[in-house]
Amino acid sequence: MQQRRQWSGGNGFTLIELLTVIAVIAILAALVLPVLAASRSKGYAISCLNNERQLMLASLVYVGDFNDVLPYNLGAAEIKQLEAESQFWNWTTPVMSWELDSDNTNTVLLTQGGIGPYTSGTARLYRCPVDSVVSDIQAQAGWTARVRSISMNAMVGNAGQFITAGANVNNPDYVQFLKVGQIPQPAQIFVLTEEHPDSINDGYFLNKPDSMTWMDLPASYHNGAANLAFADGHLETHPWRFASTKPPAQPDAAHLPFPVPAGEQADFQWLMDRTTVDSSPQTSTSGW
């Protein structure tokens, strides 16, 4: 017993030593955890970028099979009308909402028609792994995510009922690109973008260049940035500069539409410069 007490007293940690060790561990954790979090965030961004790359490649294969024609890019009403007729023309079919509508979780509908067959029916490609935003009633129903985070530039592809005399009624003074060959600088026009969860619905990402009003809002899942895929096949991760462009990723956070605040027009301008070109002959090849 005496030997045991001597061994314990001579080789154990004192209270000060224990507190020192705990303090060192806390300091190391404070240093390491942010690095791990940043690494995890970067990994998600790369995964999302790869998903979008696959969707863009699928779109280009579609274009190759259909004589340079870009995929259909329709509004919600026409998508629903065609769906009721078991017609799946649009690049993707589900129309997103914050309600308990099965479109929000239907992976079969997600990949049916459009570019779906060119993705081998892989539903995960359509959703950013960071996007787990659902409404309260969806969470109560046990939902953990919706099926899509990505939309298509409204000025790219056949917009169906929105097209009159070759022009998009939403932006009649700008070019609607029906074919890749009509895009003067494919590296300057985006086809796909991550969209803010509060604005994503029909997959038809619409803004009006002259309006200085956000109608649909890009996402900012990746440290305030969004991934975009361009008509030449390259991708970019673009950081947004202003808080107004990147409200929290949650239901009813964006309050759309809203005017671009004074002095915060650079994000909107950057995106519009890569959305379409002016249809007037003197500017149709040089942007708007």
Three-state SS string over 35-97 comes to HHHHHHHHHHHHHHHHHHHHHHHHHHHHHHHCCCECCECCCHHHHHHHHHCCCCCECCCCCCC
Q: 62 near 117, Cβ under 8 Å? A: no
- φ/ψ region of 134 (left if φ > 0, alpha if ψ in -120 to 50, else beta) reads beta
Three-class DSSP category at 269 = helix
Triad 148, 153, 155: Cα angle to 5°: 150
In 118-192, alpha helices (H): 136-140
Tokens of 181: 């060959």
pLDDT for position 11: 63
Q: 156 near 189, Cβ under 8 Å? A: yes
Residue found under tokens 């870009």:
70
pLDDT for position 168: 97
pLDDT for position 25: 79
- Non-local (6+) Cβ contacts of 278 within 8 A are 173, 174, 175, 284, 287, 288
Give the global pTM: 0.84
pLDDT for position 283: 44
Tokens of 5: 């007490």
Q: How many CB atoms lie within 10 A of CB 146?
A: 24
Residues of the chain with pLDDT under 70: 1-13, 29-30, 32-43, 281-288
pLDDT for position 282: 44
Residue found under tokens 């950057």:
270
C-alpha span between 106 and 111 (Å, rounded) = 9
pLDDT for position 127: 96
C-alpha span between 156 and 115 (Å, rounded) = 14
C-alpha span between 227 and 45 (Å, rounded) = 8
